Structure formats: structure tokens, C-alpha cells
Structure 1
Amino acid sequence: MPAAIQERPTAQTGRTPLVVRLLVLATFVVILNETLMINAIPRLMESMHVTEQAAQWVSTAFMLTMAAVIPVTGWFLQRVTTRQGYASAMGVFLAGTALCAVAPTFTILLIGRIVQAAGTAVMMPLLMTTLMTVVPERDRGKVMGNVTLAISVAPALGPAISGLILQLGSWRLLFVAVLPIAGAVTHFGLRQLTNIGEPKVSTIDWASAAMATLGFGGLVYGLSLFGEGELGSSIGIVAAGAVTIALFVFRQVKLQRTDSPLMDLRTLKHRTFALSLVLMCVAFLAMMGSMILLPLYLQNLRGLTPLQTGLLLMPGGLAMGLLGPTVGRLYDRLGSRPLIIPGSVAIVLSLAGFTQVSTSMPYWQILALHALLMVGLAATFTPIFTLGMGALPSSLYPHGSSILGTLQQVAAAVGTALVVTVMSARASDLASAGVSADAAQLSGMRLAFVVAAGLAVVTIVVAALLPNRTSGSAEGVHH
């Protein structure tokens, strides 16, 4: 393997290094695709002659693949150079996008989405690991703020952008539009990127890789079936996934003795990293729950079009992204607590506000509550990523970012399954008691928001336990 060129951290300038900017841009393009298809479901059902349950798989398959592939990225990124990691991630993503654009059947479209997601799964940990390596600690908050901008604005803009593109024609345009942008980003990135650090030649434990794929993939799949109301089969699959994850954990602990785990769980001995993970999972769960419930409420009960829904929820998404860099700078100056604690309170308050939704709630109130939720998440995510990853020694960065990414996907699946299950159970109970369909669904949504708000209270508790900063580059290990 060619010797890697070491890029010097830009400590003097305090500016975001070029390598991080390029990776942020590429990550934005690939993450946009996770939510790009949400609005296209009706169009897809019509043109491919599939049911709504089947059409939902274009989003479910993406999330599933991310959950299955991310655990392997820690090992993969340690043994390739930055350029090789980038080229393979973007190459796979481009191949998947092209396949989706020309897919003659629904099965081929699903395969294309799986290929797309495999590329996306490598980009996120690559960006995180590179950032932690090249950016000095005092500038990390600001740079992580720019990363949050890419990670949070992309999914928020997905439905609005797809709503606009779908006005122009077929769902295929969604992929045709992404292809030249992703191609240009790949070309420019490969011309400018330098390698960070030295790759390490290591063997992969295939049993661990299989367990991670089956365990995390099975868990996410089982949870997605919950959302579709298939209780019997989903409980079995979730249980099997959980057992496989337990075996995976047991094997990693054993492999740590020879320093060859697929996912190094010693990261969890760092108390700040472990607490940050809990907070991130609960916050992500609340965000995904609201991203599922609000479009359902606005389209099914208020009669808005997908485009109108996207535009109503866009200000919140933009606020979250635009605040990212500001939150990052404030973190560098003030530390985490002045941001995470008010942020957690804002998340709880906005979800509590949504428990009062009705068929006549003014749209400005919905917009304001959604914006409050997104601002709360913005104040929480940037400090958490920076604080959590900063608590680890540099040798554990690839493993830390891979654990972070995997649990993010699991939290998203739990959030989606939880709110849909609570809403459906409540609505069907009321409907069988003779309540009208709309009133039953509205009551189900309110209860789902009550559950989300209750869970979000955990974020305030965890935020109070976190330190204001990490001491040094790696915080003392908590045994």
C-alpha cells in the first residue's frame, strides 16, 4: 500500500481544512438520498405497480443497509488511505444512483438503493475520523458545526427538494439530478484530497462481520415490521437480532485481547463517550419520530400536498443547519453544558407542544414548534459529537465513529417503529370503539408525541451528567 502523505493540522489558521470541506460536501450529497424518496412513494406505486408497503422499502432498505455496513467501516477505514476510502465510497454510491435511475423493475431499484446506501455508510465514519485527526481540539466545535450542517440539513431538505423535482416529472429525475452533482464532487475530491495518517494492514474477523450484519440488520428490519403492524413476525426477528448482537459483543470482547476486534468496545469504557451515545440515540429517536409523524399529520389530516409539507417543515431544517457553525463556535468558547442543557429542554418543550395537535392548529404554531425542535437538536448534536469523539484516544476514532453511525441507524429505526406502533394501536382501539377514522388517527398521533416527549426527558438527565469539556485529547478511562 502506498505510503500516506501526512497533512498538517491547520492549527494556526483555525480554518476548516480542505480535506474536511470536501468530505462534508460529499457527505451532504450522499445523505440527501436517505430522505429523497419519501415524497416519491405514491408516484412509485403507480409506475411500478407495487403496494405502499413494498414502496416503503426504498427507504427501509437504505436504512437497513446503513445499519449492516457501518459496523465494518471501522476496520475498513483503518486499512485504506483517505483517498482509497473516498474513491470506493463515492464510486459505489455513483454506481447505485445510476442503477436506480435506469431500474426497469422494482427489484432492480431496491438493489440500486442498497448499493447507494453501502457507499453512504462509508462516507460518514470517513468524515468523522478524518476530522478528529486533522483538526486541533480548540477548533473542533466550529468544524463539527459545519459537519452538523451537512448531516442535518440534508435529510431535512430531502422531502422539499424531491417535492420540487417531482413537479417536473418522473421519480427517476431524483436520481438523474443527483448523478452529475455526485460525479463532480467525486472528481474534484479525488483531485484535491490528500491522505491522512498511515493505513494499518489488519485481517477481518468474518464471523464478527456476519454477526454485525445479521444482528444490526435484523434488529432494524424487525423494528420496521413493527411499524407496518406485523407484530408476530417482528418480535421474533427483533429477538433474533438482539441475540446475534449479544453474541457479537461477546466475540468483540474476546478479540480485544489480541487487539483485533471488528468494533472496539473499549470506546464504551470512556464515560463521556458512552453518555454522549445515549444522548445522541434518544435525540435522534425523537427527531426521526417527529419526521414520520408530522408529514402524516399534515398530509392525511390537514390535506397538504407533499410539496407544501416539505416547504412548511423546511424552515426548521434550515435553522438547524445554519445554526450548526454558530453552535460549534459557542462550544469552542463555552464548552458543552451551556448548549446541551437548554437544547435538551427545547426538545422536550417542542414535543410536549406537539401533543396538542388538532385539525385546526394554526400552521404558524406547527412551524414554530418544529423550528424549536430543530434548534434544540442543533444545540445538542454538534457539542455531543465533538465531546464524545474528543473523549477517545486517536487510535479509537474509526471505531468510535462506526459505533456512533450504527447506533444512529438503530435509533432511527426504533423511533420510527415506536411512534407508528403507538399511533396505530391507539387509532385502531378507538376506531373499533366507534370513533371516526380522523379523530382516532389524531388521538394516536397525540399519544405517540406524548411517548416521544417522555423519552426526550432522558436527554435532560444525561445532559446534566456530561462534563463541560474533555480533559486533554483522551479522557480518563472509566472502569
Structure 2
Amino acid sequence: MERLQANATENQNTPVQKYKIIPIMTALLLAGFIGMFNETALNIALSDLIHLFHISAATAQWLTTGYLLTLGILVPVSGLFLQWYTTRQLFTASLLLSILGTVLAALAPGFELLMIARVIQAAGVALILPLMFHTVLVIIPPEKRGGAYGLIGLVLVVAPAIGPTLSGLLIEQLSYNWIFGLSLPILLFSLLFGIRHMQNITNVTKPKIDLFSILLSTLGFGGIVFALSSAGEGEGGIASPTVVISLLIGVLALILFSIRQLRMEQPMLDLRAFKQSMFTMGTVMLMLAVMVMMAAMLMLPMYLIRVQGLNAFSAGIVLLPGGIINAIMQPIMGKVFDKYGPRWVVPAGLMVISVVLWLLSGITATDSLTHIILLHTFLMIGISMVWMPSQANGLNQLPPSLYPHGSAIMNTVQQVAGAIGTAVAVSIMSIVANKSLLQSADQANSANAVLSLTEGIQQVFLVAIFVSVLGFVLSLFMKRVLMPGRNDD
């Protein structure tokens, strides 16, 4: 890290400046850690919250999808924020929003206030994640970024790795509110530490704010995710008027948003970044990996609790080894990427993911926990081989003028892909499980309900195989990038 600190300079046609990399990254990583912890902390609690709040699985899923949807709506605007406000201002605003949302979540007595708290939390994370990746692009040279992104991956993955176990323990011994109460001291420390050490690394140019672009972006991402989430509710499924209309509005708004951005001299989100082929490839790989991971992180706790009959804490213990291995693999994959590039790492990762998903599509209520632990662990290894190498390689191809936009685009894709992954997973599971239960002879029999749910979960993993295979085919065309605009393989 000292070598990075000695070599780090601002790469945006401004005077050479040295940055205190370790304090800056420490403050950002602490905030990002809690953001990722909060993003997945309630997954293990959804089954309990369904009974506690007397809500459906599709409604409970909005505690996760709503969080991700808020990120998907706000993160596209982050490229604009990075040009309007200083690093210290954005960091402080992010932490204050995260603290407010966490306090409300810790005190929430019911679903409504908890949902509001989740949205406020997500607003804070929507600022910190793009700021973190943009900071790496500015203060760390391209040949060292794989290691830096690996460090980010280590910290950000540790949070969801320990989240299910810790959340399960708190739910069993106390209540879901304590999941957020535990986060509060870390957020407060991160705020104070960042106020003391954070440096301004962004160029404040204050481009024109286009409210129509913001509206189109919100309608586009919001409409699509709302449609997919609603597909699991009601009798109409994906053919219901609510789903069809929301999807059409979302797609149309995104098309208009894209056309407007390409015609503007100062776009809110500069989509010209997609002219760089490896940036486009990296973005697609990231999207596919996140969709698969978020679907699995939602389905496996539900399978362990509602099919295997485990409590929340035990389910968290089962998922802990895979999360820890994923965290360990992130910096390793970062170093491998710095040395060899993504050409062989990413396709190999997608092969591992595809095989694991095929095995998961055949799980039953009688599968051993050891079998589930191994499958989850290898799934996380595969994802670690795809995620950071694809992201780092894509961002490396961008010129400095597109750093804010590239970071915003990839973080937008990450959050929206997560929202789509969870929404589609719940929709498929609900549709298949309900159809299977209706066809059973005794719908009141709990054993039939378990069999129907298992069938729904199996179908989710079966569909995910097609996503991973598509990713594998595309990954064969990846090339290494070390300099903006140039492929080095």
C-alpha cells in the first residue's frame, strides 16, 4: 500500500498531488462495508418478517429490492454529484443519510417505517459506492488497480459473508431491529474518521443539471424493476396489466434517456463510455455476475429455512464458509488480474458458476448441509473470478474525462442487476411454487407446500444457468486493457 501511496498522482490534467491513500480508503471502505452489510442483512430475516408483519413473500422481498431499486435510481445521478460537490461534501452527506436510515430501521416497529428506513439507507450508499470506485481511478495507477479493487472486494464481500450469520444470531436472541443497531457505531466512527482524513480528489465543474434526464432515468429503472417484482404477485403473473404497463414505461423511458444523453453536450450520464469495447464487455459481465449472486443469496436462505427447517442463525452458519472464501478470493483475484488480465480468469469463473447452478437446480429437502455448503462455496469462488477482474478491466479502458461516468454506469448496472436478480428470482419462485401447489391433491398439507417451494427454487437456479452460459460465451472475447482506449492482449 505504501508503494501505491508513493506513486499515486491525480490523472486529470491537474498539478501532481500526493494522496494519503490509506486513510482515504479506510474511511471509504468502512462506509462501504456497512452499506453492503445493510444491503443483504435482511435476506436471512425475510422468512421471519413475513410472519411478523403478516405480509407475502413478494412484499417482504421489497425490503431488499426497494433498497437496490433506490440505488439503481440514484447511482446514475452520482456522476453528476461527483462534478458538483467535493469529495468531503459527498462523503459527509452519504454518512449522514446512512446514519439516519439506520437509526430509523433500528427503531422501526413495522414494515412501513422499515421500508422508508431502507430507502434512506440506500440513498447514503448510492453516494459512497461510486465515490469509492472513482477515488481508485484517480489516485491509483492502472497497473495497480486490480489489487486495489481486490481490496475493495475483500471488504465489501466480508459484510454479506458475516451478515447472514450475525443477523441470524441477533434475530434468534433479540429482534431484527438489532441488526441495524449494531451498524450504528461503525457508521459514526467512519463519519468522524472521514471528516478528519478525507481529501478532495474530484474536479468540481458544476455542469448543467437536466431534470428531464433525471426523470427519465427514474422512470426507466424504476419501471423495469417494479414490473419484474410485481410479476410474482396476483393471478396474472407476468401477463398482468400492472407488469406489462410498468415494463413498457420503463423500457420506453430508458430508450428516451439514452437518446437524450447521446445528444447532450454535457450529459448526466455519458453513455459514450460504451464506445470502449472492453468497458462494455466488463459492464455486461458485472451485470450477469450480480444477477446470479443476488438471486442465489435470496434463494438459499429461503431454502435452508423454509425447506430444510433451519432457524435463521443456523442458515447463516451454513452460508458463512462460502462468504468467507469469496472475501479471501477477492484480493487474490485482483493480483491475478494485475499479472495475467481477465482472458482466462473470467471464462473459468463462469464455467464454475454454470456447473454449480446446474447442481443447485437439483437440490431437494433431503440434501445434506455439507453438500449445500460446498455448492455455495464454489459458487462464490466463481463469482469472485468474474466480478472484480471484469470491472477493473473495463474501467481501465476509459480516459480520465469519463471516470465519473464510468464509475456511475458500472455502479448503476450493479445495483439494478441486483434488483432485477432478486425480483426475477422471487417472481419465478412464486409463480412455479403456486402453480405446483394448485396442482397437488392436498393443498393444505405442509409437505406439499415444501415440495412446491423446492420446485420453485430449483427453477430459479435452472434459469440462472442460461445467464451464466451466456456470460461464458461472451467472456471468450475479453482482452486485457492497461491504457485508456487500447487493448493490450
- TM-score between both structures, scaled by the size of structure 2: 0.89
Q: Does 1:241 align with 2:250?
A: yes
Instruction: Report the secondary structure of 1:387's partner residue.
Output: helix
1:287 corresponding residue in structure 2 = 293
- Distance in 1 of aligned mates of 2:19 and 2:145: 9
Alpha carbons of structure 1 residues 16 and 458: separation in structure 2 relative to 1, 3 Å:
farther
Given that 2:83 and 2:202 are in contact with CA atoms closer than 8 Å, whether structure 1 keeps it comes out as: no
Letter in 2 for 1:238: L
Q: Does 1:214 align with 2:215?
A: no
Q: Deviations over 1:244-293 (max 9, x none)?
A: 111111111111xx2x1011000111100101111111111111121122
Alpha carbons of structure 1 residues 254 and 8: separation in structure 2 relative to 1, 3 Å:
farther
2:481 corresponding residue in structure 1 = 470
Q: Give 1:227-306 correspondences, 5 Å limit.
A: 227-229=232-234, 230-231=237-238, 232=240, 233-255=242-264, 258=265, 260-306=266-312
- Distance in 2 of aligned mates of 1:419 and 1:104: 28
Of 461, 465, 468, which residue of structure 1 is paired with 2:473?
461
1:3 corresponding residue in structure 2 = none
1:4 corresponding residue in structure 2 = none
CA-atom RMSD in angstroms: 2.3
Given that 1:223 and 1:413 are in contact with CA atoms closer than 8 Å, whether structure 2 keeps it comes out as: no
Deviation of 1:410 (Å): 2.1
2:76 corresponding residue in structure 1 = 71
Q: Does 1:389 align with 2:395?
A: yes
Of 44, 58, 70, which residue of structure 2 is paired with 1:39?
44
- Distance in 2 of aligned mates of 1:37 and 1:360: 26
Alpha carbons of structure 1 residues 107 and 416: separation in structure 2 relative to 1, 3 Å:
closer
The more displaced of 15-24 and 439-448 is 15-24
Instruction: Report the secondary structure of 1:465's partner residue.
Output: coil
Given that 1:223 and 1:234 are in contact with CA atoms closer than 8 Å, whether structure 2 keeps it comes out as: yes
The more displaced of 441-450 and 235-244 is 441-450
- Distance in 1 of aligned mates of 2:394 and 2:361: 31
Letter in 2 for 1:245: L
- Distance in 2 of aligned mates of 1:145 and 1:15: 19
Instruction: Report the secondary structure of 2:476's partner residue.
Output: helix
- Distance in 1 of aligned mates of 2:297 and 2:214: 31
Q: Give 1:181-192 correspondences, 5 Å limit.
A: 181-192=186-197
Letter in 1 for 2:346: I
The more displaced of 94-103 and 306-315 is 94-103
Letter in 2 for 1:416: T
2:119 corresponding residue in structure 1 = 114
Given that 1:28 and 1:154 are in contact with CA atoms closer than 8 Å, whether structure 2 keeps it comes out as: yes
Q: Does 1:447 align with 2:459?
A: yes
- Distance in 2 of aligned mates of 1:422 and 1:106: 24
2:63 corresponding residue in structure 1 = 58
Letter in 2 for 1:249: S
Deviation of 1:171 (Å): 2.2
Given that 1:10 and 1:17 are in contact with CA atoms closer than 8 Å, whether structure 2 keeps it comes out as: no
Alpha carbons of structure 1 residues 119 and 457: separation in structure 2 relative to 1, 3 Å:
same
2:14 corresponding residue in structure 1 = none
- Distance in 2 of aligned mates of 1:454 and 1:51: 28
Alpha carbons of structure 1 residues 97 and 48: separation in structure 2 relative to 1, 3 Å:
same
Given that 2:45 and 2:167 are in contact with CA atoms closer than 8 Å, whether structure 1 keeps it comes out as: yes
Given that 2:70 and 2:123 are in contact with CA atoms closer than 8 Å, whether structure 1 keeps it comes out as: yes
**Share of identical aligned residues, percent?**
34
Deviation of 1:128 (Å): 0.5
2:229 corresponding residue in structure 1 = 224
- Distance in 2 of aligned mates of 1:140 and 1:359: 43
Q: Deviations over 1:142-187 (max 9, x none)?
A: 1110111133332333222211222331322222211111001110
Alpha carbons of structure 1 residues 433 and 102: separation in structure 2 relative to 1, 3 Å:
closer
Alpha carbons of structure 1 residues 427 and 273: separation in structure 2 relative to 1, 3 Å:
same
**Would you say how many aligned residue pairs link Structure 1 and Structure 2?**
465
Q: Does 1:313 align with 2:319?
A: yes
Q: Does 1:357 align with 2:363?
A: yes
Alpha carbons of structure 1 residues 471 and 253: separation in structure 2 relative to 1, 3 Å:
same
Q: Does 1:429 align with 2:435?
A: yes
- Distance in 2 of aligned mates of 1:297 and 1:116: 27
Deviation of 1:22 (Å): 2.4
1:438 corresponding residue in structure 2 = 450
Given that 1:8 and 1:134 are in contact with CA atoms closer than 8 Å, whether structure 2 keeps it comes out as: no
Deviation of 1:421 (Å): 3.0
- TM-score between both structures, scaled by the size of structure 1: 0.91
Given that 2:53 and 2:111 are in contact with CA atoms closer than 8 Å, whether structure 1 keeps it comes out as: yes
Given that 2:82 and 2:202 are in contact with CA atoms closer than 8 Å, whether structure 1 keeps it comes out as: no
Given that 2:325 and 2:380 are in contact with CA atoms closer than 8 Å, whether structure 1 keeps it comes out as: yes
- Distance in 2 of aligned mates of 1:223 and 1:8: 48
Instruction: Report the secondary structure of 1:72's partner residue.
Output: helix
1:327 corresponding residue in structure 2 = 333
- Distance in 2 of aligned mates of 1:306 and 1:48: 17
- Distance in 2 of aligned mates of 1:212 and 1:283: 23
Deviation of 1:455 (Å): 1.6
Query: Please, which runs of 5 or more residues in structure 2 have no aligned partner?
Result: 10-17, 442-447
Letter in 2 for 1:247: L
Alpha carbons of structure 1 residues 454 and 432: separation in structure 2 relative to 1, 3 Å:
same
Given that 1:219 and 1:410 are in contact with CA atoms closer than 8 Å, whether structure 2 keeps it comes out as: no
- Distance in 2 of aligned mates of 1:135 and 1:195: 15
- Distance in 1 of aligned mates of 2:254 and 2:427: 23
Given that 1:36 and 1:158 are in contact with CA atoms closer than 8 Å, whether structure 2 keeps it comes out as: yes
Alpha carbons of structure 1 residues 372 and 428: separation in structure 2 relative to 1, 3 Å:
same
- Distance in 2 of aligned mates of 1:389 and 1:62: 25
Alpha carbons of structure 1 residues 41 and 433: separation in structure 2 relative to 1, 3 Å:
closer
Q: Deviations over 1:367-421 (max 9, x none)?
A: 1111111001111111111101111111111111111111122222322233333
Instruction: Report the secondary structure of 2:440's partner residue.
Output: coil
- Distance in 2 of aligned mates of 1:113 and 1:136: 36
Given that 1:9 and 1:17 are in contact with CA atoms closer than 8 Å, whether structure 2 keeps it comes out as: no
Instruction: Report the secondary structure of 1:337's partner residue.
Output: coil
Letter in 1 for 2:131: L
